[in-house]
Amino acid sequence: MMHSALSRWTMAYFAAALVCLISAQVLMTAGYGFPAVAVEAPETLVIVHMITIGWLSLLMFGALFQFVPVLIARPLRGERLVLPALLCLLAGLGCLLCGFLELSGAFETGVPLLALASALLPTGFALAAVVLGRTLWGARLPLPARFVAAGLSCALATAVLGALFALLLSGYLPTLAEIDFRAHALPVHIAVGLGGWLSFTAVGVSYRLLPMFLLSPDKERRSTGVVWWTGTVALLTVVLAMPFASLLGEVGTAETTSARMLAVMLGGVALFFYGIDLVFFYRHRKRRTVELNSRAAEGAFLALALSAVLMLALLASGTLEQHIGALLYLVALGWLSGLGLSQLYKIVPFLTWLECYGPVMGKKPTPRVQDLVVEPRGRLWFALYFLGVSLGTGALLAEQPGLFRIAAGGTLLATLAIVTELVQARRLKNVPYAYRSPEDTLPPRLFLPRPH
């Protein structure tokens, strides 16, 4: 990793992603969207897609452009498509959000915004997948890379389903309305997006990042293979078996229930063995002091476990549909966003260190990567973030919108503080003055690459 090439646009992806996260949190704190309106309301869809596409997907692509070459020890191929992919994703997201706002009655443009989004977003996803797929193609894939490859397939499936939904809402595919496409495809869209593209990929990336940052053994273990196979079969069940059974109508009701329960059981097995691997990484680490990024990641892993417990409880009580918003909030803001923010706290200083001090490493004294951040201060912000997510989930379960807005404000404050820490690390503000401008190298730009 120390000698790997830096992806030119990774920081731009991270910056755009963080802007989307903060914007979504501002809206939630202001009382926009769920729970003030229904889960399926256009206002809620604005926030949902700001988080899933704007924040989590951009974050994931930005990280994968940097770490997929590390996973398979070969350079990124087709890097010239990375910027067009970002532009398509941002333009498509803008059209999608404006289309939802138009549906809510906020304004009227006469432009088929959702139809434009249905073209731009799949194009952006496809371009990013082509870059990563070409890099993975023909290489011997270790298990973490296989998770990523499966996650990319889920990303494309999610993008295609999302495009069909956008066209349906635009009125361009009336035949889909006749077969109740929303009822058949929406659960698949959510499960494959959050469970396949974002969670399955995050699991794969964590299998590489955690051993690297904890200095733990990274040999493939049988439990990791169990996670891979059970998770893959669960995703295939969601993608193939559940839609086929639901299309049978009343005849397929039992089959739909069976397919859903099979997917839930397999997913539970995958999570159990994933937890075993996580405990192994932490217990067998060579790094005596656990750095803040790995410590904060424990909060995300706990949120993942609580999400599984909450889903089982809601299924058992028959209240899943009533409290689906609370479950998705815990998954998106607790598990995925918590893991993303915790790893950014290490990745941004790490890449900044490589950019600034890599060229002079071995030639003169350099600071440590952890010298670019102030962990005691950051620890407070991560504690506030996970506390806010916990209170927000509880407020949604208790149907207390006022308390949810207060909790969302707490997560917003914590996120702003964490982003400030990242900016300071990028600007080398915490580094001793003598190290801030090493010879033979320029200080890094905040998020845009330097011209060649």
The tens digit of pLDDT for each residue in 350-384 reads: 999 988 887 777 777 788 888 899 999 999 999 99
Domain map (residue ranges) of the chain: 291-452
Percent of the chain with pLDDT over 70: 93
SS (H, E, C) 74-92: CCCCCHHHHHHHHHHHHHH
For residue 445, pLDDT beyond 50: yes
Query: What's the rounded Cα separation, in Å, for the pair 120 and 155?
Result: 14
> pLDDT category, 230, cuts 50, 70, 90?
very high
**Are 6 and 354 within 8 A, CB to CB?**
yes
Non-local (6+) Cβ contacts of 384 within 8 A are 410, 411, 413, 414, 417
SS3 assignment, position 22: helix
Query: What's the rounded Cα separation, in Å, for the pair 382 and 277?
Result: 23
Query: What's the rounded Cα separation, in Å, for the pair 184 and 170?
Result: 19
> pLDDT category, 241, cuts 50, 70, 90?
confident
DSSP secondary structure letter of residue 223: H
Question: What's the confidence (pLDDT) of residue 433?
Answer: 77
Question: What's the confidence (pLDDT) of residue 424?
Answer: 94
**Are 121 and 88 within 8 A, CB to CB?**
yes
Peptide bond into 35 cis (omega under 30): yes
Compute the C-alpha angle 377/329/331, nearest 5°. Answer: 80
SS3 assignment, position 205: helix
Find residue 364's DSSP bridge partners: 361
For residue 84, pLDDT beyond 50: yes
For residue 2, pLDDT beyond 60: no
Question: What's the confidence (pLDDT) of residue 452?
Answer: 61
Query: What's the rounded Cα separation, in Å, for the pair 427 and 420?
Result: 10
- Cα 392 to the center of its chain, rounded Å: 19
pTM higher than 0.85: yes
Mean pLDDT, all residues of the chain: 90
Find residue 377's DSSP bridge partners: none
**Are 58 and 89 within 8 A, CB to CB?**
yes
